[in-house]
Amino acid sequence: MKRHCLIKYLAIIVLTFLFCFTSPPAATAVGLFGAPQTVSRDDGGLNTAIGYRYYEDVYNDAADIRFRQNEVYSQVAYGAKNTWEAYARIGVADLKIEDVFKDNETFFATLGAKGFYTLNDQFGIGAFVQGTYYLSDFNDTVSRNKKIAIDHLWDVNCGIGFQMTLACGTRLYAGPYVYYSEAEMSLSSRKATLGYKAGDFSLENKSLAGGFAGLDIPLTKGFRLNVEGQYADSFSAGAAISYSY
């Protein structure tokens, strides 16, 4: 019976992986989602993390615009009972569009929460929701009199994660998520630049769904390493090291 359950949950995880990495092009979201189960103490406690992620996404207006970002962030979270966690992040990110637009060091803030339900000793299922807002705009002068600004970039994501606990407390997780992101883009030139319209207009992510998978590995003395990949239009990946108080 137990073996049957194991096979069933393994099948779910494998199918999730297949869904994530073979689904049609979709947008990715900002920030690692992490394992569905909190790493905080059972009786409640803080955990903090520092993370990095390379992120690639396609936004769409009249034409596809490919965003590339490097994000570095610091996270503080509070969780309890191995079932729930609320977290906040603050970080900096750059933004590169094609080979024309580039801007550095814009701050972003993220708030999120996750819940987890334990199915048995090894398996569990969880859900999360998180939102990110960039606190200032990205801008760059793309030619002598032409300036592009990306302002009010934000996103919201929610998803479901399946988790399997491996040896030594390592957690393998994967799941699908849905996602929406929006930004305002303004061109200071009347002339068309990069094929975009002049003036102010809104950008949205091209697709709505993606998948993620990752590992959360215990290190030493309360530290854990989280590596995660997200796939939609392109592959994004990141890592975070957390410390549980």
Partner 1 sequence: MKNILASVIGVMFFVIAACPCNADPSNDALSSSQPPTTFKLVLSAKENPEKTTNPLDEDYHEDENLDEYANNEIKEERVDIADPLESVNRVTHQFNDKLYFWAVKPVAQGYKEVVPESARISVKNFFSNLGFPARFLSCLLQADLSGAATEARRFTINTVWGIGGLLDPSSGKELNLQEQNTDLGQTLGVWGIGQGFYIVWPVFGPSTPRDTVSIAGNYFLDPVAYLNPWSARMGVNVLDKVNAASLRIGDYEALKDAAVDPYVAFRDAYVQYRYKRVKARQAKWSSSPGPAETSVPANPESSKRGQ
Minimum distance from residue 152 beta carbon to partner 1 (Å): 27
Judged by CB, which is closer to partner 1: 73, or 177? 73
Q: Using CB under 8 A, which of the segments 24-32, 35-43, 115-123, 236-244 binds partner 1?
A: 236-244
Judged by CB, which is closer to partner 1: 45, or 176? 45
Q: Residue 245 interacts with partner 1 (CB under 8 A)?
A: yes
Q: Residue 23 interacts with partner 1 (CB under 8 A)?
A: no
Rg (CA), the chain: 19
Q: Which amino acid is at 186?
A: S
Q: Residue 111 interacts with partner 1 (CB under 8 A)?
A: no
Q: Residue 15 interacts with partner 1 (CB under 8 A)?
A: no
x/- map, 36-55, partner 1, by CB under 8 A: ----------x-xxx-----
Q: Which amino acid is at 8?
A: K
- In this chain, which of 7, 15, 76, 135 binds partner 1, going by CB under 8 A? 76
Q: Report the distance separating Cα 241 and Cα 226, nearest Å.
A: 6
Minimum distance from residue 144 beta carbon to partner 1 (Å): 34
Q: Residue 222 interacts with partner 1 (CB under 8 A)?
A: yes
Q: Report the distance separating Cα 30 and Cα 19, nearest Å.
A: 20
Beta-strand runs (E) in 81-207: 84-97, 101-118, 123-134, 138-143, 146-165, 171-187, 199-205
Q: Residues 6 or more apart from 14 whose CB is under 8 A from it? A: none
- In this chain, which of 6, 17, 56, 74 binds partner 1, going by CB under 8 A? 74
Residue 172 in tokens: 């393998």
Judged by CB, which is closer to partner 1: 86, or 241? 241
Judged by CB, which is closer to partner 1: 89, or 206? 89
C-beta separation of 44 from 80 below 8 A? yes
3-state DSSP assignment of residue 38? coil
Judged by CB, which is closer to partner 1: 74, or 234? 74
Minimum distance from residue 168 beta carbon to partner 1 (Å): 17
Could you tell me which residues are beta bridge partners of residue 111?
88, 131
Q: Report the distance separating Cα 79 and Cα 87, nearest Å.
A: 8
3-state DSSP assignment of residue 103? strand
Judged by CB, which is closer to partner 1: 88, or 209? 88
Could you tell me which residues are beta bridge partners of residue 145?
none
Minimum distance from residue 221 beta carbon to partner 1 (Å): 4
Q: Report the distance separating Cα 46 and Cα 128, nearest Å.
A: 18
- In this chain, which of 2, 4, 191, 221 binds partner 1, going by CB under 8 A? 221
Task: List residues binding partner 1 (CB under 8 A).
Answer: 46, 48-50, 74, 76, 221-222, 241-243, 245
